[in-house]
């Protein structure tokens, strides 16, 4: 039947004719349906990932410049608001680190909202009190800090846009809330998982779902023996990373007790002498299985099996599910305010003012929503 098709030289016209014949004979299977909203969400999340990679590069560059100047404080996180504010203040003064901290200590109006955290961490700066920055180093760190603040505000604004998309779709919002009840999965990751998966009904079994997520090991056979090898790389890279990071959070940072937390504790006890990476892969596969069940049943994760479980209460809480808060928007606005103080940005000033205007409007809207809920 297929021998009538053209064989030999190929071009687009011949391929199109052959595909038309396949379709007429009923040999083509239906593909994955394209959901426009899901595709848009997926593009936004991947844009946020690119911004986060740029932020990581900028933070590493700032640390490297400080390291060349001899300032190597441990445990200083550039994601924290007070650290960036302190660095901005330090760059504005041609003095060593000790003199700058003394100025902050004597003048009560300087960095008023961050004084407590600065003096709480002052012991980390004491060994470097005599060090200062050259003019070139100040210039490089200043430009990197401005770019870091701008990209931080952009990422938070993307979270606001994602929030607005799911507000218009109650079903998507409820599914996101259900996933966020799984320990280790944040609200941001919950929406991203749904964006990458699409329709859960396309997976007929949990095994096919785990394979797509990269949470199942490869099977290698030799001489009649079957071995489990490393996890398959022919899978969705983003889902594999999300579930692995969720396992790391559950094993190391999650404090709330649940059956999943107890399972992670048992896996650590059993596999830790071998490899912690193996522990994370096993726990990630367990989280992926629970994700499949939560999406299939459209019910949140129940951390206490056998106890009373009020689905109506969880449905009400799901209607208020949100990625953003007034505090997050205010932090983004503060980041842009620091960027606006720098005059050497050129054309970047236009984009900064536009973003700042959008964030001001969002702050007003968020305040109205909070008042209406109260």
pLDDT, tens digit, 9 for 90 and up, residues 63-100:
999 999 999 888 889 988 899 989 989 998 888 999 99
Half-sphere exposure (Cβ direction) of 59: Cα atoms closer than 13 Å: 16
Whether residues 199 and 130 fall in one domain: no
State the maximum Cα–Cα separation within the chain, in Å, rounded to a whole number: 90
Q: How many domains does the chain have?
A: 3
Whether residues 142 and 45 fall in one domain: yes
Whether residues 43 and 149 fall in one domain: yes
Residue 362 lies in a domain: no
d(C-alpha 98, C-alpha 251), whole Å: 39
Whether residues 276 and 201 fall in one domain: yes
Structure tokens at 271: 């596999």
Last residue of a domain, one of 138, 159, 180: 159
Residue 323 lies in a domain: no
Q: Which domain holds residue 255?
A: 170-303
Residue 256 lies in a domain: yes
Structure tokens at 28: 């083509």
Query: Residue 267 pLDDT > 70, yes or no?
Result: yes
Percent of the chain with pLDDT over 70: 78
Whether residues 181 and 144 fall in one domain: no
Whether residues 174 and 73 fall in one domain: no
Residue 24 lies in a domain: yes
Tell me how crowded residue 47 is: count the other CB atoms within 10 A of its CB. Answer: 13
Residue 329 lies in a domain: no
pLDDT reported for residue 196: 92
Residue 322 lies in a domain: no
Pairing of strands 217-222, 225-231: antiparallel
Last residue of a domain, one of 101, 124, 159: 159
* CB-CB contact of 254 with 151 (8 Å): no
Query: Residue 236 pLDDT > 60, yes or no?
Result: yes
Task: Look at 13-17, 247-251, 319-323 and tell me which has the smallest mean pLDDT.
Answer: 319-323
Whether residues 42 and 22 fall in one domain: no
**What is the DSSP code (8-state) at residue 72?**
-
Query: Residue 23 pLDDT > 90, yes or no?
Result: no
pLDDT reported for residue 2: 46
Whether residues 138 and 81 fall in one domain: yes
Whether residues 146 and 219 fall in one domain: no
Mean pLDDT on 338-348 = 52
Last residue of a domain, one of 279, 303, 327: 303
Mean pLDDT on 166-186 = 89
Query: Residue 191 pLDDT > 70, yes or no?
Result: yes
Task: Look at 87-101, 300-314, 320-334 and tell me which has the smallest mean pLDDT.
Answer: 300-314
pLDDT reported for residue 81: 87
């Amino acid at each position: 039947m297929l021998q009538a098709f053209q064989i030999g030289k190929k071009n687009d016209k011949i391929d199109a004719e052959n595909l038309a014949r396949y379709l007429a004979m009923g040999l083509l299977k239906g593909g994955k349906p394209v959901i426009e909203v899901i595709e848009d969400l997926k593009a936004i999340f991947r844009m946020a990932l690119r911004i986060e990679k740029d932020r990581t590069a900028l933070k590493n560059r700032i640390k490297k410049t400080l390291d060349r100047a001899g300032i190597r404080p441990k445990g200083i996180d550039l994601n924290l608001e007070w650290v960036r504010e302190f660095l901005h203040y330090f760059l504005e003064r041609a003095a060593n680190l000790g003199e700058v901290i003394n100025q902050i200590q004597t003048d009560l109006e300087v960095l008023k909202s961050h004084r407590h955290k600065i003096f709480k961490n002052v012991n980390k700066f004491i060994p470097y009190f005599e060090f200062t920055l050259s003019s070139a180093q100040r210039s490089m760190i200043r430009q990197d800090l401005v770019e870091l603040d701008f990209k931080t505000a952009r990422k938070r604004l993307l979270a606001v846009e994602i929030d607005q998309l799911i507000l218009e779709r109650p079903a998507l919002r409820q599914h996101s809330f259900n996933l966020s009840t799984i320990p280790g999965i944040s609200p941001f990751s919950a929406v991203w998982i749904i964006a990458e998966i699409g329709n859960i009904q396309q997976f007929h079994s949990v095994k096919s779902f785990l394979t797509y997520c990269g949470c199942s090991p490869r099977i290698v056979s030799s001489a009649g023996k079957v071995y489990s090898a490393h996890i398959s790389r022919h899978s969705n890279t983003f889902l594999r990373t999300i579930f692995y990071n969720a396992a790391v959070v559950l094993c190391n940072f999650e404090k709330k007790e649940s059956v999943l937390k107890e399972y992670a504790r048992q896996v650590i006890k059993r596999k830790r002498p071998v490899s912690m990476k193996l522990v994370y892969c096993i726990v990630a596969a367990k989280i992926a299985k629970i994700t499949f069940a939560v999406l299939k049943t459209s019910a949140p994760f129940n951390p206490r099996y056998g106890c009373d479980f009020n689905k109506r209460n969880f449905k009400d809480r799901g209607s208020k599910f949100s990625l953003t808060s007034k505090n997050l928007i205010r932090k983004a606005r503060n980041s842009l305010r620091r960027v606006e103080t720098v005059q050497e940005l050129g054309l970047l000033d236009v984009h900064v003012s536009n973003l700042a205007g959008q964030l001001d409007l969002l702050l007003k809207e968020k305040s109205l929503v909070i008042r209406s809920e109260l």
